[in-house]
Chain A
Amino acid sequence: MKFRPPQLNELTLFFLTFIYLVPVLLSENILLNFLLLILAFINIIFFRKIRFKHLGLLVLFLIIPLISLFVTVLIYAKGAENSPILAEIFGFEIKQIAFNNALFLVSRTFCLSMISFLFLLSIRYDALVFALMQNLKLPVSIGYSLLATFNAFAHLKEEFSRIRLAYKMRFLKKVFPLKLLMPMLVSASRFAYSAGLSMESRGLNKQKTFLELVRWRKSDIIIIIANFIEIVILVGIFIFSGKFSVRLV
């Protein structure tokens, strides 16, 4: 029989994101950060289909900022004057402390970004908005505006490509992106106006019912608690082995 993971409230994934992000933000240990990333990855694989193509693209975008961060810390790290020299490249001395700091910062940024991406790509945005409206009392006017905004992206993407082509066709040489702002703003405001009228004319109100009810199930609570305990145990192991220290700034 094929295994079927339990149906999750999207808010569970939303909360899990923070449960994983907080210890990474506090930890100074590279190994712990990567272990937390692996745990988050296992969770997602268990509950959702991972869109590796999108994830790969996001990682690709991360590479340049990470390299820049590494090099910047390597050059400008404070207190590295008395540190032993690790290597010398083209006359530039790489100090041990600077190298450690650079590696730590890069790994932490990578883990934070990857955990965020993993959950972000797995959460169904419309289901999350419905969960926020039904379980956390998000005002329906805000919730449905968010849903309409997600629909607007497809519309604005097309508008942008047309406006850009219209601009290119005229061979105008002035500041490129700024000129496109006005027509894009007009287009976005017209879309927002129509969506607002559509909501109002169909009687959006606070007392509404919902076709699909979003509930907190036992499985949601168990998953959150299990993950929390998992992280506490992992951090505990590092604390007792003396490898965990907190860096708040």
Chain B
Amino acid sequence: MNQKQIYFLENFSFRYPYSEKAIQWSGNISINENEILLISGKSGAGKSTFLYALKGLLPDTIFGKLKGKILFKGKDVSQLSSFEKAKIGFLFQNPAAQMINRTVIQEIAFGMENLQMKQQEIRKKIEDFAETFKIKHLLKRDVTTLSGGEKQKVALISILAMNPEVLLFDEPTAFLDPISASEFFAVFRNIVKNKTVVIVEHNLDYLKDSVSGFIKIGANGKIEKKDLKEIPWTQKFPRLPNISKGEKLIEIKNLSFSYDNNHILKGLNFELRKKEIIGIIGANGAGKTTLLKLIAGVLKSKNGKISYKHENIEHISFKKYYRNLALLFQNPENHFLFSEVEREIAGNRKILDLVGLNKMQKRNPFTLSEGEKRRLSLAILWNLKREIFLFDEPTFGQDYENKNKLIELIGKMREKGNSFIIVSHDYPFLNSVCDKIFLLKNGYLRETQIQN
């Protein structure tokens, strides 16, 4: 049976202003009806830009030099009317940044209102979707109070409610914990029937049974259609060797914490030794970041005790404590304060060599690729010569290769005597670097088995 062609791209290339590299495709590529296409490539290769091109956002909404043709059902995609564009649904990476309205119900209605649907029709559709996706209790909630998983679900529903023919997904699970991600893909399998889907995703395991085509974007920006056999379904990381641990640095005894009578942490106990790496995994909103903030002294608990080298951290001054401890945020840009890479690390070029950024000294930190930004943020902390590092989602936005580099760096830092507490959704990553992994669930910590 001949499948209907949805997209047709001919000798397409796009270059951002001031960028040396273009995303290009020499030849023709077509995307057919009901095809589920996986896009793969390194961080910064242009995967999101490719999706923007399919949505028709180039070059008018996102400026740059566009060459070649991108046709949607035979029509130039950039010339589509807003109604025609609505046939192409787009789910972005960051669910928080795509929320426009104050309440969930307004947010879901937004796309349908733009399609000039009548109030009754909108209400009926919202009711149906709320029933199917079990979000009735969320409809009147303020969007800023939702968890990451809930936000992504709402964003997905708001797009599905517009009944698009094509769905473009840009790393939809990047902000989700493993449970929310698997829930997302359970929904995904149901909704992609009779739809054309183009998805950028690092969690390939979930897509094994669904994908029917594969496009790879190379480091030079070249787009190529590849065989399904070439998809690296399972990504394994090397395990850091076991080394002997030193003295006790951090000790947590019977630690509890609650926000507005909501008990998030309930009597936690664990310790961190010199050269030890501890991982903490848990669902969105389980309290992982709260625990990290408590250890960092940003939050204070009324119950329990956190001590550093046998001294209660509440009795240690901020200056003294932070001479020994540093916190790495999920967003590496939070660490950047200067306009040049070398100023960020106070001219210490040795550190730049170690993190592989020796050729970037004069670059503006905000213009680096995601992997480079992460390594620079790590270099900034390393340069502070602290003993303990607290990492919040260090692999966020990182591809397989960058994660490998990160593992290597953490190994090097540990050899120099550093200890780590790493909070992450990325179980394979934690499994490769950590000596112990704890699962934070319902306020309790439980040690899980490390898999070799």
Contact = CB atoms under 8 A, between A and B. Distances in A.
Contacts of A202: 86, 110-111, 114, 158-159, 162
Contact of A169 (B122, B159, B326): B326
B106 A186 contact: no
Nearest to B122: A211
A214 interface: no
Interface residues of B, number: 60
Nearest to B103: A126
A76 interface: no
Contacts of A208: 113-114, 116
Interface string A180-208: 10110011001100111111111111011
Interface in B118-151: 118-119, 122-123, 143-144
A198 B337 contact: no
B21 interface: no
A170 interface: yes
Contacts of A154: 144
B113 A151 contact: no
Contacts of B337: 166-167, 170, 172, 179-180, 182-183
Interface stretch (B24-32, B94-102, B172-180): B94-102
Interface stretch (A9-17, A78-86, A155-163): A155-163
Contacts of B119: 209-213
Contact of B101 (A126, A163, A196): A126
Contact of B329 (A162, A168, A180, A203): A162
Contacts of A194: 92, 94, 97-98
Contacts of B90: 197, 201
A138 interface: no
A177 B333 CA distance: 17
Interface stretch (A46-54, A61-69, A142-150): A142-150
Contact of B100 (A125, A151, A162): A151
B243 interface: no
A227 B337 CA distance: 52
A187 B336 CA distance: 11
A159, A169, A203, A212: which has the most chain B beta carbons within 10 Å? A203
B327 interface: yes
Q: Interface of chain A, helix or strand or loop or mixed?
A: helix
A81 B41 CA distance: 81
A165 interface: yes
Given A202-B114, A202-B158, A147 B102 contact: yes
B144 A201 contact: no
Nearest to A199: B100
Given A162-B329, A170-B384, A203 B115 contact: yes
Contact of B334 (A183, A201, A204, A205): A183
A125 B336 CA distance: 34
A186 B82 contact: no
A168 B319 CA distance: 9
Contact of B92 (A125, A182, A198): A198
Contact of B55 (A144, A150, A182, A201): A201
Interface string B32-64: 000000000000000000001001010001100
Given A168-B318, A211-B113, A162 B334 contact: yes
B322 A169 contact: yes
Contacts of B384: 169-170
Contacts of B94: 194
B97 A195 contact: yes
Contacts of B331: 159, 162, 187
Interface string B158-176: 1100100000000000000
B334 A195 contact: no
A202 B114 CA distance: 7
B105 interface: yes
Nearest to A160: B334
B100 A201 contact: no
A209 B113 contact: yes
A94 B99 CA distance: 58
B225 interface: no
A65 to B, nearest CB: 31
Contacts of A191: 97
B1 interface: no
Contacts of A196: 61
B97 A126 contact: no
A194 to B, nearest CB: 3
A197 to B, nearest CB: 7
B109 interface: yes
B219 interface: no
A187 B92 CA distance: 17
A90 interface: no
A171 interface: yes
A187 B333 contact: yes
A147 B100 CA distance: 6
B428 to A, nearest CB: 26
Contacts of B62: 197
Given A126-B102, A162-B331, A183-B337, A200 B57 contact: yes
A162 B100 CA distance: 24
A202 B98 CA distance: 10
A131 B264 CA distance: 39
B117 interface: yes
26 contacts: A125-B102, A126-B106, A150-B102, A151-B102, A155-B144, A159-B334, A162-B331, A171-B319, A172-B337, A183-B337, A187-B331, A194-B97, A195-B100, A196-B61, A197-B98, A199-B100, A201-B55, A201-B89, A202-B158, A203-B83, A203-B85, A204-B114, A205-B114, A208-B114, A210-B113, A213-B119
Interface of A: 125-126, 144, 147-148, 150-151, 154-155, 159, 162-163, 165-172, 179-180, 182-183, 186-187, 190-191, 194-205, 207-213
Given A151-B100, A162-B334, 16 more contacts: A166-B327, A182-B337, A183-B334, A187-B331, A187-B334, A197-B52, A197-B57, A201-B89, A203-B82, A203-B114, A204-B82, A205-B82, A207-B116, A209-B117, A210-B113, A211-B109
Those 4 A-B pairs whose CB atoms lie nearest each other, nearest first:
A194-B97, A198-B98, A211-B109, A126-B102
